[in-house]
Amino acid sequence: MPGQAIALKRKKAPVAHEKVSKAASKTSGPELSDVGSQHLDIGYRLKELRTAHRLSIRGLAEAAGLTHSTIAQIEANKVSPSISSMKRILNVLNVPLSEFFAEAETKSEEKIFFAAKELVELADGKKLSYRQVGSNLKGKAIMMLHERYAPGADTGETYSHEAEECGVVVTGKLMIVVGSREHCLKKGEAYYFDSRQPHRMYNPFDEECEVISAVSPPTF
């Protein structure tokens, strides 16, 4: 999923709706942000998961290929991680991004229909927007996203995860890198690939690009 990195907001209060916002790690790209008036405390949530896995900050940093100070600053909410950095961290903890931001839902609260405002923003919502259908994908088989790439939007360094993904370009054009292959997709064209291949998406064009995509299982 060349362009510029996209900044996201840090979280301040405990969970509900989510986003993806900016990182000061050694990778660049869109970052984890918030949605609505309620926020996820990324630092607290990460520390909780790390300690549950009995990992030290240094141990997690080494396993994720990041610096000790990067993990410490994320846990202290002094920086917000990029998507690619957060994926590295969560891969070590064996937690998908969608599950990291999951809202607690009971069976009786299971939703079938979603208003536009109920889609969960996983990116900054400005340069890059990843709006997810449903807030808790734990145990689900598929992740649906409404994506928007403003001119200059870039997902950052290539990353990979255990899944398959596909999408259709609704408007504009999008550059997609999958492994050693790079292609420009135009309106009405589509992609389908094994997400274990390193991939990246960016929009170097002058017009916004809109994509409807799916990831299965939701390991993004």
**Is pLDDT of 196 > 50?**
yes
Q: Which of 20, 10, 64 is nearest to 41 (CA)?
A: 10
In sequence order, what are the beta bridge partners of 144? 214
Q: Write the pLDDT tens digit of every residue in 31-55.
A: 554 433 235 678 888 998 999 999 9
Summarize the confidence of residues 81-108 as an average pLDDT. 74
CATH fourth-level superfamily of 42-105: lambda repressor-like DNA-binding domains (1.10.260.40)
Summarize the confidence of residues 134-155 as an average pLDDT. 92
**Which spans in the chain are helix H?**
42-52, 57-64, 68-75, 83-93, 97-100
Distance CA 35, CA 11 (A): 10
Q: Which of 60, 41, 144 is nearest to 98 (CA)?
A: 144
Query: How is residue 81 written in tokens?
Result: 């991680």
Distance CA 112, CA 159 (A): 31
At 165, give phi and psi (nearest 5°): -145, 150
Query: How is residue 52 written in tokens?
Result: 């549950």
Q: Between residues 31 and 113, which one has the greater pLDDT?
A: 113
Q: Are 82 and 3 in contact (CB under 8 A)?
A: no
Task: For the chain, give every residue range classified as CATH 2.60.120.10.
Answer: 120-216
Put simply, whether the predicted model's pTM sits higher than 0.75 gets the answer no
Q: Which of 8, 30, 193, 218 is nearest to 134 (CA)?
A: 218
Task: For the chain, give every residue range classified as CATH 1.10.260.40.
Answer: 42-105
**Is pLDDT of 199 > 90?**
yes
At 32, give phi and psi (nearest 5°): -75, 130
**pLDDT on residue 2:** 44
Whether domain 120-216 has CATH 2.60.120.10: yes
Distance CA 115, CA 171 (A): 22
Q: Which of 220, 18, 35 is nearest to 101 (CA)?
A: 18
Look up tokens 């050694």; give the residue: 26
Out of 7-21, 57-71, 174-188, pick the least confident: 7-21
**Total Cβ atoms within 10 A of residue 87:** 22
**pLDDT on residue 109:** 64
